[in-house]
Amino acid sequence: MAGSKIAFGRTLVVAPHPDDEVLGAGGTIARLASEGEEVFVAIVTEGKPPSFDPAQTARIQAEAAEAHRALGVKETVWLRLPAAQLAETAHAIVNGALLELVRRLSPQTVLVPFVGDMHMDHQLTFTSALVACRPHQAEFPKLILAYETLSETNWNAPYLSPGFLPNVFVDITGHLEAKLEAMQLFASQLRQPPHERSIATLRALATLRGATVMTQAAEAFVLIRQVV
Amino acid sequence: MAGSKIAFGRTLVVAPHPDDEVLGAGGTIARLASEGEEVFVAIVTEGKPPSFDPAQTARIQAEAAEAHRALGVKETVWLRLPAAQLAETAHAIVNGALLELVRRLSPQTVLVPFVGDMHMDHQLTFTSALVACRPHQAEFPKLILAYETLSETNWNAPYLSPGFLPNVFVDITGHLEAKLEAMQLFASQLRQPPHERSIATLRALATLRGATVMTQAAEAFVLIRQVV
Amino acid sequence: MAGSKIAFGRTLVVAPHPDDEVLGAGGTIARLASEGEEVFVAIVTEGKPPSFDPAQTARIQAEAAEAHRALGVKETVWLRLPAAQLAETAHAIVNGALLELVRRLSPQTVLVPFVGDMHMDHQLTFTSALVACRPHQAEFPKLILAYETLSETNWNAPYLSPGFLPNVFVDITGHLEAKLEAMQLFASQLRQPPHERSIATLRALATLRGATVMTQAAEAFVLIRQVV
Amino acid sequence: MAGSKIAFGRTLVVAPHPDDEVLGAGGTIARLASEGEEVFVAIVTEGKPPSFDPAQTARIQAEAAEAHRALGVKETVWLRLPAAQLAETAHAIVNGALLELVRRLSPQTVLVPFVGDMHMDHQLTFTSALVACRPHQAEFPKLILAYETLSETNWNAPYLSPGFLPNVFVDITGHLEAKLEAMQLFASQLRQPPHERSIATLRALATLRGATVMTQAAEAFVLIRQVV
Amino acid sequence: MAGSKIAFGRTLVVAPHPDDEVLGAGGTIARLASEGEEVFVAIVTEGKPPSFDPAQTARIQAEAAEAHRALGVKETVWLRLPAAQLAETAHAIVNGALLELVRRLSPQTVLVPFVGDMHMDHQLTFTSALVACRPHQAEFPKLILAYETLSETNWNAPYLSPGFLPNVFVDITGHLEAKLEAMQLFASQLRQPPHERSIATLRALATLRGATVMTQAAEAFVLIRQVV
Amino acid sequence: MAGSKIAFGRTLVVAPHPDDEVLGAGGTIARLASEGEEVFVAIVTEGKPPSFDPAQTARIQAEAAEAHRALGVKETVWLRLPAAQLAETAHAIVNGALLELVRRLSPQTVLVPFVGDMHMDHQLTFTSALVACRPHQAEFPKLILAYETLSETNWNAPYLSPGFLPNVFVDITGHLEAKLEAMQLFASQLRQPPHERSIATLRALATLRGATVMTQAAEAFVLIRQVV
């Protein structure tokens, strides 16, 4: 917990849409992989016609595959639920998809989007991930952390929606560049500054989160539950 | 409120210790001054012997005077209450000092430190400033905003002490450099990165706060009360 | 912000059902109109058969038209989504309707219902309005405020649903009577005291909100976001 | 309120699924019944095929009937909405079912599940129960309390979902055994320790809640609204 | 709890300064007294020289005595701690004074000021009252409620200090005039509207709190703890 | 973090008064010691005359020494600040005492009382401990957890003071008996059930906290900050 190697063990990162996992936890993924841990990424949704162009969906998924490879992700799982429509998808279906995944992979650690994010897909992914991680199962994840997502987390309603006040900081000093390179691979999702979803803002956020705990770069999380 | 000029009017910035006003609102001060508004800064405490070295106190005050001049502050008021001892100072004395100041200056806008900051001097300055701004007075400030202070605001207890979740963003794109130069003048208070109280972290924070509202640099505040 | 004229600029008031805009912001609308600002009202839903009687729906809309005229509203927009069924309406549709409206009108200020209101239509209107006001758009509203609605805001669960704790007060001393007259035009929605949706309760609320900031009558809001 | 007899009057306990009413309020039900009050239980959902086995549903309902008889429940009402699917059921239908029930029974007191419980059926039952208890009706319940449910309330997200912090304690010292016996009758729902839904954990919870107010056993609630 | 007579039993109202008990609970006191309950008022502080003029202190105490007589208070207890200086008074002294009182009077119900009030005397009175009411004593109050105080409760920092979101409503329809007459007797403390501490604002508040629960006038409270 | 050995490293437990460390973290201390970690306990206060009897103070300290030996504590540090008077002790003194301790011991993990506990000594110990653990020091604790204290944590004001909603669970299945035996050694502090500070209640709490994460016994904590 306080040594030179993160004690996350086998880790599953749950992302509502491709790029959330990099925005929120790309440096942590890179660090875990470099330390020999198995990291899995589950992308919950994909853009489906008619709301989304299949070519664009394919392009984003290709970008994700490349970014995950660069970060050292062991396996990317595509749950293929409809993007921007989780609120219209039966709750049991989202729960079930994540539950099956947790059972198959038996992760020790699960990283989830933040329930206070603006996008309903994020909120519902969070909720279903918690259902999938309930402690009454034979094996359940011992550590659950919520990550922040630039262009989602800061745009909700201060003091009215749940606020992101981080209490877990992962030092990514040696892995910030890997994170930014992975994000560069998401060309279709990247924006120019001063947009939040830009390299400059990602770098600023890592600098700020790092400074809070006296290190060059960090990713910050809110702890949901930890069993030791 | 939404135009090219800030509608803060005559503004008072209340700082528990010298440099808080620059860390939290230096860019806003510079912008207001450049737009022709009168900005006053009140420094609530000073380091007193034996806890503090008078020479060091004098040095910091000289730095503050220079920094304020650079930012265009109209007047700096020194309340000279004992630093790191506001919790042992009669509450009525802190209230009284700020009340007298508010009466003399009749500011339309008051910027205060954040009540959730780690340092008790910040918490008590916040509380007394609110007492001094109560609306039952003949004239009272119509806008009260709390600023964030690197090396204080992020070190308190997430979800247990009041969390800083900003809802007011002041664009300081044209004034970030003035802020950083003013902070450079506080040589005794400045630290090297990755310390929060460094130029690099201040720049990162301004980038992040700006990106949230699609501008190059911003300072962020929590609204306490506004009357229109 | 602190002068004799409100600096809201072109303003859009979003109401889940007709009369919410008057209950929550009727005095502010009247004041803005009297000061020469353009005020738009969007009514998100309408009662549809079989749950609602079309004649009754027509009557309420006629009342709304008259009330808006009396207040000086420039244009009323009817989004005609199904009343009491926003929870069963695809989230993307509500988002899209409001997004298109914000793009067409380019309001500087948007007034929205409170997310902690008891009615799900209010909660979902709030959420979709925030999506429509995200800052990554070319033009986005610089001020977003949530209003309170008698017979909704006070009936939710204290400390469990978001609580309405106002921080922005608009002086409507000269416009309270206009508000109450507009509400009188909503004959189908008005109730006798001691019902919350009565003239007597509206007057009491205006008196209380006014007294908090030492004026005869006010409407109170919670700030969501302001960019200056 | 503070005497030897609870002043709840005619009481309705609303349970999303059979056994929630016993887990959360079984001792209170037993005490009320023993004091001569009429207690009604409404079970909101039932497991429907294909997600649930009708035989299993029948079995649970039979268990519930027996448990309610043991506790002294006057009448059990089955609303038969689809279990684990309230999020996909029109909100107006859940509201309507509970509203009709409140009108028919005119309870003075209503006990509801906690809005912060993990299961969406619990959250939505809470919300609809509050709609059904709105004070603008000719008769409305004067006391609304939310109960805690082992295996639901403690598994949500601390500080992000509403937290259960009890402020009403009902002494069930003389009725704990009746509660545990009723739970034993729910053989299909009971689990072995260390599962939360076990006799041992129910006993521990009653001991803890009791100790907080210096009695041998208690059930704890969060007050939603009380009119005296 | 739900009948025509309040079940508060012997009641102690704790007021930091004279008039708080009338502002917050004057109608409830009048109702309890009219229903035959014994009501005690403890005034925690008195203005002491040099900060306060003894003649003025005597005058306020005489007003209080008269107001209490009018409301039917059985006994007024003067704890005579220094006004506006509770923050500088040893915490054990305030605790001790209230503890002794609770032991002597054995109230079933205690009404306390709200911990989120702006005045530190209110906050500290709240805290010490809770210490004095701890449940590990042979007899302890079974019901603790916090009242709101115009000119204190609404002037603190929304979302940063504890917010007053009432969950207990006492119908004072038949006792509002008695409350206002008692407040009239506090001539030295009364202000003209639009000040919060005016008859007009008190009346507006009672109208609003009443309307929330469909009655002509009410006083509203936040429940701290209730044991039944 | 998720293996069979806790990764807390060298650990400091800060207790306002002797027995808090056992009530809140006795099982965790025993487990850490049994796993070979060095555990230090700092007792912040001692009862001083005239408020406390020196003989009684000596007796409690002797009990503490014995209890700590039984648990395997490496060193007990007595800071000897005045019990029940931390609110009247200069904040800098409490900060300084803890800061020096943290510097001397360089703990990786610090366990602190909960800021929402009823006793001001607990609140102020929490605050000063956080100051002593600020991350800008050469070495600082990488993990800070707040423990719960029966007879303190549950007696504060629900929803108004910070609520204890645990997110870290330490399995003490093999160490519960050691905890209870250590508490037995605190004969002067132990009470008979149904008092919270009894063996029966401690056992019930361990059962409940354990059941939440499917283990026989656990101690629960709120995470303040973790750096990995």
Owning domain of residue F41: 11-225
What are the tens digits of pLDDT across the range E111-164?
999 999 999 999 999 999 999 999 988 889 999 999 999 999 999 999 999 999
Q: Specify the pLDDT at position D2.
A: 40
Q: What is the pLDDT along chain F (228 residues), one digit of tens a residue?
A: 344 578 899 999 999 999 999 999 999 999 999 999 999 999 999 999 999 999 999 999 999 999 999 999 999 999 999 999 999 999 999 999 999 999 999 999 999 999 999 999 999 999 999 999 999 888 899 999 999 999 999 999 999 999 999 999 999 999 999 999 999 999 999 999 999 999 999 999 999 999 999 999 999 999 999 999
Residue D207 to residue F200, Cβ atoms within 8 A = yes
Q: Is a pLDDT exceeding 50 seen at residue C1?
A: no
CB-closest option in A156, A159, A191 to C130: A156
Question: Which residues of chain D does A136 touch, with a Cβ-Cβ cutoff of 8 Å?
Answer: 151, 191, 195-196
Whether the CB of B143 is below 8 Å from some CB of chain C: the reply is: yes
**Is the distance from CB of F20 to CB of F184 less than 8 angstroms?**
no
Question: Which residues of chain A does D151 touch, with a Cβ-Cβ cutoff of 8 Å?
Answer: 136
Contacts of D55 (CB under 8 A, 6+ apart): none
Best D51, D119, D153, D160 residue to mutate vs chain A (most A CBs within 10 Å): D160
Residue F196 to residue E136, Cβ atoms within 8 A = yes
Whether the CB of B138 is below 8 Å from some CB of chain D: the reply is: no
What are the tens digits of pLDDT across the range D7-54?
899 999 999 999 999 999 999 999 999 999 999 999 999 999 999 999
Mean pLDDT computed over E198-227: 98
Best F122, F131, F140, F161 residue to mutate vs chain B (most B CBs within 10 Å): F131
Q: Calculate how close chain D gets to F153, using CA atoms only, in Å.
A: 10
CA atoms within 13 A of residue B34's CA, in its CB half-sphere: 18
Q: Is a pLDDT exceeding 60 seen at residue D209?
A: yes
Cα–Cα distance, B130 to B123 (Å, whole number):
11
Cα–Cα distance, E22 to B58 (Å, whole number):
51
Nearest CA in chain A to D156: A130
Counting one residue from A and one from C, how many pairs have CB atoms under 8 Å apart? 39
Beta-sheet pairing, B143-147 with D168-171: unpaired
Residue C81 resides in a domain: yes
Q: Is a pLDDT exceeding 90 seen at residue D137?
A: no
3-class secondary structure, A79: strand
Residue F130 to residue B118, Cβ atoms within 8 A = yes
Residue B167 to residue C223, Cβ atoms within 8 A = yes
Cα–Cα distance, D99 to D92 (Å, whole number):
10
Mean pLDDT computed over C2-29: 91
Q: How far is CA C178 from the centre of its chain?
A: 16
**Is the distance from CB of D164 to CB of F225 less than 8 angstroms?**
no
Residue E160 to residue B115, Cβ atoms within 8 A = yes
Q: Calculate how close chain D gets to E142, using CA atoms only, in Å.
A: 6
| Tokens 């990786």 found at | F108
Residue C196 to residue E203, Cβ atoms within 8 A = no
Cα–Cα distance, F81 to F16 (Å, whole number):
9
Can you read off the two tokens belonging to residue B175?
Answer: 């004034």
Residue F2 resides in a domain: no
Contacts of B223 (CB under 8 A, 6+ apart): B144, B145, B167, B168, C167, C168, C223, C226
Q: Is a pLDDT exceeding 80 seen at residue B90?
A: yes
User: Which chains would you list as touching F if contact means 3+ CB atom pairs under 8 Å?
Assistant: A, B, D, E
Q: Is a pLDDT exceeding 80 seen at residue E12?
A: yes
CB-closest option in F1, F140, F218 to A8: F1
Burial of F163 (0-12, 13-18, 19+ CB in 10 A): buried
Can you read off the two tokens belonging to residue F123?
Answer: 């609140």
Q: Specify the pLDDT at position B137.
A: 85
3-class secondary structure, D213: coil
HEC letters along F70-120:
HHCCCEEEEEEEECCCHHHCCHHHHHHHHHHHHHHHCCCEEEEECCCCCCH
**Is the distance from CB of F176 to CB of F27 less than 8 angstroms?**
yes
Query: Per-residue confidence at E5, pLDDT binned at 50, 70, 90?
Result: confident
Question: Structurally, how many domains does chain C consist of?
Answer: 1
Counting one residue from E and one from F, how many pairs have CB atoms under 8 Å apart? 41
Query: How distant, in Å, are the alpha carbons of E26, E39, E205, E227 from that of E32?
Result: 10, 7, 20, 20
Mean pLDDT computed over E1-18: 83
Cα–Cα distance, F114 to F147 (Å, whole number):
6
3-class secondary structure, D173: coil
Q: Specify the pLDDT at position B50.
A: 95
Residue D2 resides in a domain: no
Q: Specify the pLDDT at position F3.
A: 46
Cα–Cα distance, F144 to F164 (Å, whole number):
15
CB-closest option in F169, F218, F224 to A167: F224
Q: Specify the pLDDT at position D4.
A: 59
Q: Which residues of C198-209 are buried (b: 16+ CB within 10 A; e: fewer)?
A: bbbbbbbbbbbb
Q: Is a pLDDT exceeding 80 seen at residue B119?
A: yes
- The answer to whether the peptide bond before residue D141 is cis (omega within 30 degrees of 0) is no
Whether the CB of A5 is below 8 Å from some CB of chain D: the reply is: no
Beta-sheet pairing, E143-147 with E168-171: unpaired
Residue D185 resides in a domain: yes
ipTM value for the complex: 0.96
Best B152, B156, B160, B198 residue to mutate vs chain F (most F CBs within 10 Å): B160
Task: Write down how long chain A is.
Answer: 228
φ/ψ of D44, rounded to 5, equals -75, -40
Q: Specify the pLDDT at position B5.
A: 76
CB-closest option in A108, A212, A223 to F223: A223
CA atoms within 13 A of residue E48's CA, in its CB half-sphere: 11
Residue C115 to residue A161, Cβ atoms within 8 A = yes
Whether the CB of E161 is below 8 Å from some CB of chain C: the reply is: no
> How does DSSP classify residue D75?
E
Give first-to-last CA distance, chain B, whole Å: 10
Q: Is a pLDDT exceeding 80 seen at residue E50?
A: yes
DSSP state letters, E184-210: HH-TTT---TTSSSSHHHHHHHHHHHH
3-class secondary structure, A221: strand
Whether the CB of B225 is below 8 Å from some CB of chain E: the reply is: yes
Mean pLDDT computed over D130-158: 96
Contacts of F147 (CB under 8 A, 6+ apart): F20, F24, F25, F28, F111, F112, F113, F114, F219, F221
Mean pLDDT computed over D198-223: 98
Q: Specify the pLDDT at position A5.
A: 76
E166: left (phi over 0), alpha (psi -120 to 50) or beta: beta
Q: Is a pLDDT exceeding 50 seen at residue A3?
A: no
Please name the residues between 105 and 124 in chain A that touch chain F, using a CB distance below 8 Å.
108-109
Residue B4 resides in a domain: no
**Is the distance from CB of A8 to CB of A39 less than 8 angstroms?**
no
Cα–Cα distance, B62 to B76 (Å, whole number):
11
- How much is the mean pLDDT over chain C? 96
Query: How distant, in Å, are the alpha carbons of B212, C79, D194, E133 from that of B207?
Result: 9, 38, 50, 50
Query: Per-residue confidence at B2, pLDDT binned at 50, 70, 90?
Result: very low
- How much is the mean pLDDT over chain D? 96
Q: Is a pLDDT exceeding 70 seen at residue A1?
A: no
Q: Specify the pLDDT at position C2.
A: 40
**Is the distance from CB of F150 to CB of F202 less than 8 angstroms?**
yes
Query: Per-residue confidence at C4, pLDDT binned at 50, 70, 90?
Result: low
**Is the distance from CB of F161 to CB of F126 less than 8 angstroms?**
no
Residue D167 to residue F154, Cβ atoms within 8 A = no
Nearest CA in chain E to A161: E159
**Is the distance from CB of D188 to CB of D63 less than 8 angstroms?**
yes
Nearest to E209, CA basis, from F125, F146, C205: C205
Q: How far is CA D91 from the centre of its chain?
A: 20
Burial of D206 (0-12, 13-18, 19+ CB in 10 A): buried
Residue B135 to residue C213, Cβ atoms within 8 A = yes
CATH number (domain holding residue D113): 3.40.50.10320
Cα–Cα distance, A168 to F224 (Å, whole number):
9
Mean pLDDT computed over A169-196: 97
What are the tens digits of pLDDT across the range D81-117?
999 999 999 999 999 999 999 999 999 999 999 999 9
Nearest CA in chain B to F127: B118
Who wins on pLDDT, B4 or A53? A53
Query: How distant, in Å, are the alpha carbons of A178, C72, C97, C135 from that of C113?
Result: 43, 20, 16, 19
Residue C61 resides in a domain: yes
Q: Specify the pLDDT at position B125.
A: 98
Residue F165 to residue D155, Cβ atoms within 8 A = no
Helix (H) or strand (E) holding D113: strand D109-113
Share of chain B above pLDDT 70, in %: 98
Cα–Cα distance, B160 to F224 (Å, whole number):
9
- The answer to whether the peptide bond before residue C193 is cis (omega within 30 degrees of 0) is no
Question: Which residues of chain D does E215 touch, with a Cβ-Cβ cutoff of 8 Å?
Answer: 227
Q: Specify the pLDDT at position B4.
A: 59
Q: Calculate how close chain F gets to B157, using CA atoms only, in Å.
A: 6
Residue C2 resides in a domain: no
**Is the distance from CB of E27 to CB of E179 less than 8 angstroms?**
yes
Best F155, F208, F212, F224 residue to mutate vs chain D (most D CBs within 10 Å): F208
Q: Specify the pLDDT at position C138.
A: 80
Cα–Cα distance, F222 to F148 (Å, whole number):
9
User: Which chains would you list as touching D if contact means 3+ CB atom pairs under 8 Å?
Assistant: A, B, C, E, F
Whether the CB of D138 is below 8 Å from some CB of chain B: the reply is: no
Mean pLDDT computed over B63-88: 97
What interhelical angle do C54-71 and C20-34 show, nearest 10? 30
What are the tens digits of pLDDT across the range C94-123?
999 999 999 999 999 999 999 999 999 999
Question: Which residues of chain D does E4 touch, with a Cβ-Cβ cutoff of 8 Å?
Answer: none
Q: Is a pLDDT exceeding 60 seen at residue E2?
A: no
Q: Is a pLDDT exceeding 60 seen at residue D1?
A: no
Query: Per-residue confidence at C68, pLDDT binned at 50, 70, 90?
Result: very high
CB-closest option in A84, A85, A157 to C115: A157
Mean pLDDT computed over E196-214: 98
Q: Taking the CB of residue C78, how many other CB atoms lie within 10 A of it?
A: 15
Residue C112 resides in a domain: yes
Question: Which residues of chain A does C225 touch, with a Cβ-Cβ cutoff of 8 Å?
Answer: 158
The C-alpha angle with vertex B168 and arms to B164 and B172, in degrees rounded to 5, equals 110
Question: Which residues of chain E does C158 touch, with a Cβ-Cβ cutoff of 8 Å?
Answer: 165-167, 222
- The answer to whether the peptide bond before residue A158 is cis (omega within 30 degrees of 0) is no
CA atoms within 13 A of residue C112's CA, in its CB half-sphere: 30
Can you read off the two tokens belonging to residue E188?
Answer: 């030295």
What are the tens digits of pLDDT across the range A28-76?
999 999 999 999 999 999 999 999 999 999 999 999 999 999 999 999 9
